[in-house]
Structure 1
Amino acid sequence: MATNDNFDDIRAFDNSEVRATVEALAADEHFRKSMSVISGGIPFETIATVMRSCDTVRQFQERVCYPIVTTFIRRCSSGVQLDITSIPNREAPHIYISNHRDIVLDSALLSIKLLEQGLDTVEIAIGDNLLIYPWIRNFVRLNKAFIVKRGLTMRHQLEASMELSQYIHHTIAGKHQSVWIAQREGRAKDSSDETQESVVKMLAMGGGRDIRQSLAGLDIVPLTISYEFDPCDYLKAREMQMKRDDPGYKKEAKDDIQNMSIGISGQKGRINYKTGRPLNTYMQTLDGTAGKPEMFHELTEWLTREIHRNYTLYPCNYVACDMLDGTDTHSAHYTADDRRQFAAYLDGQLAKIDLPAPDMPFLKHCIVNMYANPVINKTKAQCAQH
């Protein structure tokens, strides 16, 4: 089994590195300012005292991160629910593969809710494109994040994918730690969540030549995250128009920072996490004679359907679906007040978009489509269920 020395450039930090990392963070002026803002004005020396009381990663998460995240849950949501009843053995390590809505909170809220159920937190896959400051890199690795390398050449990408896969297998089998990973690179801007086959292929790489045996050892569980409202919806719509108007448009680091900040502090309404059936259950039904391309395609499609099948749908989703179609097909799921409130919400979000020439019909369609797609995709998944 591989040791930490094999993965030093990507792995999460361990207990032996807590004290040195805490001191590095405490000395970083950018971190000090960020923590003072995030904590709601608590003097940094008070925060630093708590940080320095931590000898383990678990203590750092419980004493520093848990209070901060739970404060944001109270301020910015109507509560978070986690349903993991579909997992036969919740104590065993496995991979949660989920849709991706919020850069920071998707994995953070999962770990918080697992802690509250008496379970361990997860190791988290995070793209290095988000680690724009040294303190962010240190902070996330202290919070059990491991690094996914982005923007590499084809040859280096293959090497990085193998290293990443081997690390994930080591984390499950050697460290007995569960892992969270998004079903695709980046967030689905239109909320139409599709699993990337490349993610499934990467997961299979590190466990030997047999696909099913390799993936079975990871005990993959699809996880569906449903936010009632996405505070970054208007930023996503803005990005869609910018890409439409300029196909060469590329986000800058400041755009990710803005998305992270608004995603954390914006109002989200109700939030629901729900696991689906384990992938191992489905793999047992597959034809063992299928070739690798067919196998990867089938597994990828099933993960997507299972994530879609477990959406929690809110009145705003049904309203958006009817607005998109110009019908009242789903009116049994919402009231006239729900429709008025969503229309007012749309107007408020559209008003936040700062573009020289905003195409309001296009932008409105983008946001409405984001909220309608979970209804559309769940309906399709239920029809195709097997």
Structure 2
Amino acid sequence: MKIPEQFDPIRPFEPDELPDVFDRLLQNEQFSSVLAYLYPDVPKEALAAKMHACKDNLDFQKTFCYGFLVQLLARLSKGCDIDIASLDTDSRYTFISNHRDIVLDSALLDKLLIDAGFNTTCEIAIGDNLLKLPWVKDLVRVNKSFIVERALSMREMLMASKRLSEYMHFVIAEKNDNIWIAQREGRAKDSNDRTQEAILKMMVMGGDGSIIDRLKQLHLVPLAISYEYDPCDYLKAAELQARRDNPSWQKGPMDDVTSMQTGIMGYKGYIHYQCADCIDSYLDTIPADTPKTELFRLIADHIDRQIFAGYRLYPNNYVALDLLHGDSAHADHYTAEDKAQFEAYLKGQLDKIEMEGKDDAYLREQMLKMYANPAINQMGL
């Protein structure tokens, strides 16, 4: 397939580009250290041969990423599953989801789609703010990621958004692949998941026809991702206090790397992915004369409701809600042991936070909100 040159700066690598990229990665000391950590008993030459045996990106994912995720889940979760009853494994979709973990949200979806019988995974939207290291940028583009460009001027942002949208339409219509994209830029630090209208407005910069037509061409599927425990909860709480204390606070160059490592290597408990119906049929119910100013909010609200309904709530969500409100209104959803375990977990996570002017009460409240908000949103439907 001939891919338009305009997509070259943002698209994943093509199969014919992989050998050179593999060589570049294997020559990088940091990447070599990662390989040595993940495969301590395998000679680098054997890993290099295995990489070069991969004929395309999906082959690389199945050879290296799938097995890694299986082992990771065995060690750091109680299990991970997906409900795709509403989908056709022969069709292609744009999964738009809440965002908890920088790396695993999309990586686990890829694994689960393979398990569910899809013959492909997803192309993954990833912000260039996470790609400061050249070898990381190479690796994610091997792993079927396309780049969302940020920190641009207004004019540059419009051009980049149009190219991004056109590429997404190209992936669905021409490459016959799926897409994963977060419902908002960055993770919702308080787990109060809301779809940004700007994401939908970007999506309709490509495609043909009306706004509804263009969204239908992407076959959007709201996806709810539920982790029983978020290993990055204490990092998110610390960031919320840092921003509260200093509105101009900016993340350091290693903060995202720390979040990636913590999210991957931390304990997650149960993990569930819930796919709602593709919204194409819902889009057909929207009156044609709906003002554009209302249209995107209507669609965003629908996606939000589908994600809220799809949450799998765990005992700790209800415990957090009652602790936040200082009552026991939802005690029928958990045991005394559940509550004691979550409070001990909470204390352990808060103890990990080291920062100047540490505000324990505020940090605890923010962590409680992270676990309570999915329950609050689902109950509010």
TM-score over 0.5 (shorter chain): yes
Matched residue, 1:244: 244
> What are the superposed Cα offsets for residues 315-372 of structure 1, whole Å, 9 maximum, x if unpaired?
0000000101111111111000000000000010000001122100000001011000
Q: Is the 8 A contact 1:127 1:147 kept in 2?
A: yes
Give the distance between the partners of 2:91 and 2:4, measured in 1 at CA. Answer: 21
For the pair 1:179 / 2:183, whether they are aligned, the reply is no
Unaligned runs of 5+ in 1: 382-386
Moved more, 322-331 or 65-74: 65-74
Q: Which residue of 2 aligns with 1:70?
A: 70
Q: Which residue of 1 aligns with 2:255?
A: 255
What secondary structure is seen at the aligned counterpart in 2 of 1:205? coil
In 2, the alpha carbon distance for the partners of 1:257 and 1:40 equals: 22
Contact 1:168 1:179 in 2 (8 A): yes
CA contact (8 A) 1:2 1:170 kept: no
The alignment covers a number of residue pairs equal to 380
CA contact (8 A) 1:128 1:147 kept: yes
Query: In the alignment, residue 91 of structure 1 is paired with which amino acid?
Result: D
Structure 2 letter corresponding to 1:104:
V
**Is the Cα contact below 8 Å between 2:89 and 2:117 reproduced in 1?**
no
In the other structure, the counterpart of 1:372 is 372
Distance of 2:101 and 2:71 partners within structure 1: 17
Q: Identity over the aligned pairs, expressed in percent?
A: 45
Q: Measure how far apart 1:207 and its partner are.
A: 1.2
Q: What is residue 100 of structure 2 aligned with on the other side?
A: 101
Structure 2 unaligned residues grouped into runs of 5+: none
The amino acid of 1:35's aligned partner reads: L
Cα pair distance change 1:17/1:211, threshold 3 Å:
same
Q: Which amino acid aligns with 1:364?
A: R
In structure 2, give the amino acid aligned to 1:231. P
CA shift at 1:378, angstroms? 0.6
Alignment check: 8 A CA contact 2:238 2:353 kept: yes
Output the aligned Cα RMSD.
1.4
Q: 1:43 to 1:368 in 2, by over 3 A?
A: farther
- C-alpha distance in 1 between matches for 2:8 and 2:294: 35
Following superposition, the deviation at residue 285 of structure 1 comes to 1.5
Aligned to 1:112: 111
Alpha-carbon distance in structure 2 between the residues aligned to 1:75 and 1:293: 48
Q: How many angstroms apart in 2 are the aligned matches of 1:40 and 1:230?
A: 28
User: TM-score scaled by structure 1?
Assistant: 0.96
Q: Which moved more, 1:66-75 or 1:47-56?
A: 47-56
Alignment check: 8 A CA contact 1:206 1:214 kept: yes
3-state DSSP of counterpart to 2:96: strand
Listed as ranges, the matches of 1:263-274 within 5 Å are 263-274=263-274
Q: Are 1:320 and 2:320 counterparts?
A: yes
Aligned-partner SS, 1:186: coil
Task: Check 1:161–1:355 CA distance in 2 against 1; reply closer, same or farther (3 A cut).
Answer: same
SS in 1 for 2:254: helix
Quote the offset at 1:374 in angstroms: 0.4
